[in-house]
Amino acid sequence: MNFLTKEELLALHDAILALHGGEPGFLNESMLESALAAPQNRHGYEGAGIAECAATYAFHITKAHAFVDGNKRAGAAAALVFLKIHGIEAAPADDELAAMVLDVAQGTMESTAVARFFRKHARR
């Protein structure tokens, strides 16, 4: 399985801010590194599949609040890019994707529900 690097996530975050606006910079770089390691750990120790790893990106990047701005957008985008790298297109409606990451950020959606969300919207 191929996982996102820190450099790839930072480039994705930069592109998101360039497209949609927001303040660049870190609040906590170590939290970002922890969020990036989470999918690999889940795969290695729990045997998590592609949807679960994508959900882990969305969940942990959103919850980490590592960036000054764009945490939810970066979490959602990282998950979608991860799926695409593995040959899976996920095309939820923008409002559904936004509602999912808002639920994660507010603590009303767990990682298992995020994985169901991505499986529901996945197309090979």
pTM for this one?
0.94
Domains, the chain, in order of start with CATH, read 6-123 (1.20.120.1870)
- The radius of gyration of the chain's CA atoms, rounded to the nearest angstrom, is 13
Mean pLDDT of 74-84: 97
pLDDT at 59 over 80: yes
Q: Decide: helix, strand or coil at residue 76.
A: helix
pLDDT at 63 over 90: yes
User: What H or E segment, with its residue span, contains residue 47?
Assistant: none
Q: Tens digit of pLDDT for each residue in 5-42?
A: 999 999 999 999 999 999 999 999 999 999 999 999 99
Q: Tens digit of pLDDT for each residue in 89-101?
A: 998 999 999 999 9
Mean pLDDT of 108-114: 95
